[in-house]
Amino acid sequence: MKDELRAHAMVDQMKPRKGEAMKRIDVDGQHGFVELVDWMTVDPVTKITDAARVSYDKDGTHDPEKDAKLVRRLAKDGHWSPFRHSPITIMVSAPEFVARQWYKHVVGSAYAFVDTGWNEVSQRYSEAVHAYMPEVVHEQSISSKQGSGEAMYDEDAEDVRSAIRHAMHRYDELIDRGVSREEARMVLPLAVYTRFYWTASQQALKHFVSLRSHSTSQSHIRAYAEAVDTICLKHYGKAWEAFE
């Protein structure tokens, strides 16, 4: 019953609030998703070209063909500042091992802190509910220190899932016994789901997608990068296509 109540509470937290857009992409077929929840109302191409033309006191003048050409030129030449004026906010549900890789794009980049915002569920204040269960696990890559190789046997994947279930069960037992949330969380596996809001500029989003959708990136975060790419392509339109 307690598990059901915690799960119900998390579902309530995920429900759209007034004024939010339900533009959600399910990522892993379990509890992972990326959802666009907020954005600026001015068209991104208009905002980018105005920001670029203000140097010449020419902002406010627009022609679709010239605007598209200017955006492509800015992207090609690496003039990033005009792309920082149209941030979006996404809500993400992902396993901890994915979120920790993702957070490197906040603390380890040139645009950190001045160009992004990050707020995440705290396991000191709330209880963990779900954990990611891999359908398949892979051998350690021989050619890559950080990568995966060939798929292993079904029983290997089941061993991993069993270990995750055991850790979650022990966590529940500790919580039920009255152990504090901030200490019980020490036994949680990195497969446990977390949820966060990320506000980022188009430049920051493209940097994330470029790195994490690469073939050498871990497949789990690559799926999230592809979801972000899909959302950004739909939202930014020609301003996103200019990067290609």
Closest by alpha carbon to 202, among 45, 66, 52?
A: 45
- The Cβ of residue 206 has, within 10 Å, a number of other Cβ atoms equal to 21
Catalytic site includes residue 165: no
The Cα–Cα gap between 216 and 222 comes to 9
Tally of residues, the chain: 244
Contact yes or no for 199/89 (Cβ under 8 A): yes
Decide: 236 and 202 in contact? Cβ < 8 Å.
yes
Whether the CB-CB separation of 224 and 34 falls below 8 Å is answered with yes
Q: Please check whether residue 92 is in contact with residue 99, taking contact to mean a CB–CB distance below 8 angstroms.
A: yes
DSSP H helices in the chain: 2-14, 44-53, 64-77, 96-107, 154-177, 181-184, 202-212, 219-236, 238-241
Please pick, among 24, 53, 84, 212, the residue that the annotation labels catalytic: 212
Which amino acids are annotated catalytic?
212
